[in-house]
Structure 1
Amino acid sequence: MKIFKSHFWYNKSQRNGIFLLVTLILILQVFIFSDVFSSDEIIDTNTSEIIAFQNQIDSLKAIEIENRKPKIYPFNPNYITDYKGEQLGMSLAEIDRLLAFRKTNKFVNSKKEFQQVTKVSDSLLIKISPYFKFPDWVVKQNQPYKSSLRETKQSFNEKVKHKLSTTDINKATAADFKTINGIGVAFSERIIQYRLKLQGFSFDNQLYDVWGLEKGVADKVLTTFKIVEKPIIKKQNVNTVTFKELLKNPYIDYDLCKKIFNYRDEVAELQDISELKNIKDFPLEKYDRIVLYLLAK
């Protein structure tokens, strides 16, 4: 008890001094807080300076939001991937329709044809079609014909005047093909180049594989030209052909070529060319065309 008394018991004058000190501290604290929180000053937020500053902040925010959006650059819609299609806002079903169409070795050549294939909505087409970039020859083909009347008559007369040298599609010249409405210089040469690649047309429907040739125009060609004499194609032995030589087959891509070689390694030797059908995921719809260039012995 003596210890506590020595620390907490003071005489009267000492207690009065402590009381006065505490009172002064409390008065000072009340003064400080009342001065800080009782300010009656009202800030006007509608001044021209504050409004201009706020507008500047809003514009900077808008620019930053715009910069964060993924930018779209011109692209060929024929080569849209799953990732690209998702960025553009296409559904998986729409992307799959385009990919399935491309697997048939066909191309979309206009935004209208793109919508017919993918079934995208009008609103999405309006949004993304300005970024479509087709090859120059496609753009020219889709443009309205603007030649003069004299040029039109001259072109028509040239078609009428030219006498067909043959109706055999494997012997027809570029001039022969140009007599068909819708076939000009570019397509006539393209048909001939594709014919050389095939070593000659063996089936009428091979004409539909000519890049960019519309089905309606191809139908017109086939009403005039037919396969009179089937081509004599130099076949390669599937058991001895090299990888590079096999890739020259117009219907065999790198993946299929690799599968054929793997299968050949497994069986040592193909006894019959029909064994190709045993390869997993072999494109059976192309079998008749692929074997035009191959034999087993």
Structure 2
Amino acid sequence: MNQKLKDYLEVSPREFRGIVVFVLIMLFVFVSPYVYERIMFQPLKISIETLTPKIDSVEAFNEKTDRFYPKEENKKSTAQLFDFNPNHLPTSEWMKLGLSKKQALMIKKYEDKGGQFRNINDVKKMWAIKPELFEQLLPHIKIPEQTSATNFNDTKTPNKTISTAKSIATVEINSADSASLLAIRGIGPAFASRIIKYRNRLGGFLSINQLKEVWGIDSLKFEQIKTQVLINTNAIQKIDINKCTFEELKTFPYLSYKQSNTILAYRKQHGDFKNATDLNKIAILTPEIIQKITPYFKF
């Protein structure tokens, strides 16, 4: 037993030297932080005398750079203030008033979509114009009042008036083309195009409230145009549910891809739809959807 233990613990001269080197390395690693901290490391001593030259050099640098980079509060505004009408004001004129080119283009884009400045508040709502800049521009904003002027040169009809503002049009929206829609105050070419595209997908408008479904017409735009629109429900183009194809149904905005497929599959399996009540037999169609789509189908 002793011989086996002795054979197990016995090391060769080469192995013994390796152990000694390993122990010395571990001892060096353990001791070196203490040696460095006590002997080699010298903390930096800070005094007023050492700081003064540094402070003087920093102040000299700031004084030098201020000549080239003045502080923001010392900058003077380069805006050229003058009386102006914000409607259809050229981009270059907006830039003279202190707006960047990007901000001026945002305002022009607003006008291209049918936007119009009718009063001071309309200008204030433009987020492209910062509040501090608006306060500077406020005394110079001159928007002509939309009133009527009497035509005194007409002796036969002395009370005849000539409107100086764009007259409010009333347009039947289910039969109007792009040119007719532009007569609506607040509707530009972009909105006219979107209304017609959505009307074609829908087949026509049943209610004025459906205009809110047109992309870009929010509650403010809707309130602006709703009194200028008429709806003729007789002009609606209905879908023949017993003859329509998937191509016709897939563009209809009130049905999803799956619902359109299910309607055609049911028709193929059970035959023609006799009336709107048959739609209740299709589980994927809720009562709300059926009520919404029924006026657009012909049975």
Please report the TM-score for the alignment, with normalisation by the length of structure 1: 0.46
Which has the larger helix fraction? 1
Please report the TM-score for the alignment, with normalisation by the length of structure 2: 0.45
